[in-house]
Amino acid sequence: MYYSAQHSSPVGTLTLASDGSSLVGLWLQGQKYFGGTVAQAMAESPRLPVFNAAKEWLDKYFSGQKPAIAELPLAPYGSEFRRAVWEILCSIPYGEVITYGEIAKEMAARMHRAHMSAQAVGGAVGHNPISIIIPCHRVVGSNGSLTGYAGGIEKKIRLLEHEGADLSKLVLPAKETAL
């Protein structure tokens, strides 16, 4: 059985999901692939210890602290490839960005391949089921484009600004409006 809880944040209402002991999902309101990794109905249970820990983590994060991802029991559901990409996301330092291509190079090395598709990495990043905590908002295109955030470009920008990331070399995708 899966459980859910809501949490208010500066980027809107967040929905948290748990298997009862670990966090399996965190989605922004209106996010693409919302709840996609939880195939069953979720029962509202906001007082689970894992939700209390996640809410405390989020409150610290949004107050300007830098809580460690390892403070939370995370169990994102996905293929071995996706989980490996999400593991790389967890290593991106607070306030910094990395490109899909850089992640692809690291994945190629881990898989003992000469090359890895940045598009395959983009698919894994885009399907990250635990937004914010697994920081997929820190991934940008090779040209500095702020493309590819399932929660929306505006929220990606807000999260990066919150972390103090240098946005001066980053650009909006061609179909978005100016910063």
Query: Does the pLDDT at position 58 exceed 80?
Result: yes
pLDDT of 149: 82
H-helix or E-strand spanning residue 155 = helix 153-162
- Active-site option among 136, 146, 157, 160: 136
Alpha carbons within 13 angstroms on the beta-carbon side of residue 173 total 12
pLDDT of 36: 64
Q: Please tell me the pTM assigned to this model.
A: 0.91
pLDDT of 32: 67
pLDDT of 135: 97
pLDDT of 33: 64
136 is catalytic: yes
Angle subtended at Cα 71 by Cα 65 and Cα 76, rounded to the nearest 5 degrees: 115
Q: CB burial class (10 A; 0-12, 13-18, 19+) of residue 136?
A: buried
Which residues contact residue 130 at a Cβ distance below 8 angstroms, ignoring those fewer than 6 apart?
23, 24, 25, 26, 74, 76, 86
DSSP β-ladder status, 2-9 and 42-44 = parallel
d(CA 111, CA 60): 35
pLDDT of 82: 96
Query: Does the pLDDT at position 41 exceed 90?
Result: no
Query: Does the pLDDT at position 25 exceed 60?
Result: yes
